[in-house]
Amino acid sequence: MDFSLGQRVVYPTYGVGTVENITDQIIGGSRISLYIVRILGNNITLMVPVNNVGHVGLRNLSSPEYCREILESLKDRSNFTGYTGQNWNRRYREYSERLKTGTLADSCNVLKELLLIRGEKELSFGERRLLEQAMNFVTVEIACVLENRQESIQNHIEAMFEDILPGQEKNP
């Protein structure tokens, strides 16, 4: 997969970034071509070997149609089983692994489950951190693709789950 200067890309575990440079460097005596990617959310700069793009999971942004489908999928709560019977450590590892895949669908599923769990109980510190990470991954990519503000996308998602916020009556 080839990327160009200025192109927005997704790097798993970091989120959306911009290809700022494509350069060659000598590393370990070998000439390596690298993408220099600056992550939007935290301004970190990553060097990704061009020949290793598939292995690290660097990918194009999703299509506008797919982003709209992902937003729509947040409304479907039919497959949510809740957190009963699962210990937090197991869920944390599972959610972390799903976020590391870098796919919008996996990040969205983690986000949805944590928002639904938040409607049933107060989230622990680790759960809140994963919720923030998943929300950031989902909203940054969708905002870039749909040319909207991240805050607007986040507000839209939060509004979908207002009916289950703690302290409010739950709709059946």
CATH of residue 20's domain is 2.40.10.170
Does 155 lie in the same domain as 115? Answer: yes
Digit-coded pLDDT (tens) for 55-110: 888 999 999 999 999 999 998 877 776 665 567 778 888 899 999 988 999 999 99
Structural domain includes residue 95? yes
Output the CA torsion sign for 36, 39, 40, 42: negative
Which residues does 61 contact at the CB level (< 8 Å), separation at least 6?
Answer: 8, 9, 10, 16, 141, 144, 145
Measured between alpha carbons, how far is residue 168 from residues 104, 118, 135, 155 in Å?
A: 30, 12, 22, 18
What is the tally of structural domains in the chain? 2
Structural domain includes residue 172? no
pLDDT(116) > 50: yes
The confidence score (pLDDT) of residue 171 equals 45
Digit-coded pLDDT (tens) for 6-41: 999 999 889 999 999 999 999 889 999 999 999 988
Does 89 lie in the same domain as 43? Answer: no
pLDDT(167) > 60: no
Domain that holds residue 19: 8-60
DSSP letter assigned to residue 168: S
Q: Are 141 and 61 in contact (CB under 8 A)?
A: yes
The confidence score (pLDDT) of residue 3 equals 94
Q: What is the pTM of this model?
A: 0.85
Does 69 lie in the same domain as 45? Answer: no
Structural domain includes residue 74? yes
Does 22 lie in the same domain as 73? Answer: no
Does 153 lie in the same domain as 136? Answer: yes
Neighbours of 5 (CB within 10 A): 11
Give residue 169's pLDDT band: very low, low, confident or very high (50, 70, 90): very low
Structural domain includes residue 3? no
Does 151 lie in the same domain as 109? Answer: yes
Does 75 lie in the same domain as 56? Answer: no
The confidence score (pLDDT) of residue 111 equals 94
Structural domain includes residue 16? yes
Does 69 lie in the same domain as 50? Answer: no
